[in-house]
Amino acid sequence: MPIQYYIYFSLALFSIGIIGVLTRRNAIIVFMCIELMLNAVNLLLVAFSKMHHAAALTSNAASTAGVEGQLFVFFIMVVAAAEVSVGLAIIVMLYRNTHSVDINFLNRLKN
């Protein structure tokens, strides 16, 4: 499959995530859209790693080039899991203080 198709698909998912972050006011949905953007990037990293691997296979049949990309995706997933636990704790605290998950309440952090 040409690499452009994967780029277009990931771009579409990433843009949907951006639109979600910009248009929704529910903090949890905003958070879910960030997860969507992370997944779009992950998919693109895997596609690029396979592209790199295909290019390396032509010169060396036993090449393992491209493993780094997939391990990078693995570490992104690890960091995302840690990020979700802390972020959801913050959202729960926000809800406990304001009884709402509307992110516009957060503008009182200004003063």
Partner 1 sequence: MQQEYNYLQGYNTIKQMDTLQILFFFLSALAIFSAIMVLVSKNPVHSVLWLIVVFFAISGHYILLNAQFLAIVNLIVYAGAIMVLFLFVIMLMNLNADTEPRKNWWMKLAGVVSGGCFLMVMISLVRQATELSGKAALMKTGDIGLIKNLGKALFSDFVVPFEISSVLFLSAMVGAVVIGKKD
49-108 binders of partner 1 (CB under 8 A): 49-51, 53-55, 57, 64-68, 70-71, 73-75, 77-86, 88-93, 95-96, 100-102, 104
Residue 74 has a CB neighbour count (10 Å cut-off) of 11
d(CA 10, CA 38): 10
Cβ nearer to partner 1, comparing 91 with 111: 91
Cβ nearer to partner 1, comparing 22 with 111: 22
Q: Is 8 in the site for partner 1 (CB under 8 A)?
A: yes
CB 102 within 8 A of CB 25: yes
* Number of residues binding to partner 1, judged by CB under 8 A: 76
Cβ nearer to partner 1, comparing 104 with 111: 104
- Give 22-71 as a DSSP string: HH--BHHHHHHHHHHHHHHHHHHHHHHHHHHHHHHHTT-TT--TTHHHHH
* Residues between 10 and 29 that touch partner 1 (CB under 8 A): 11-13, 15-26, 28-29
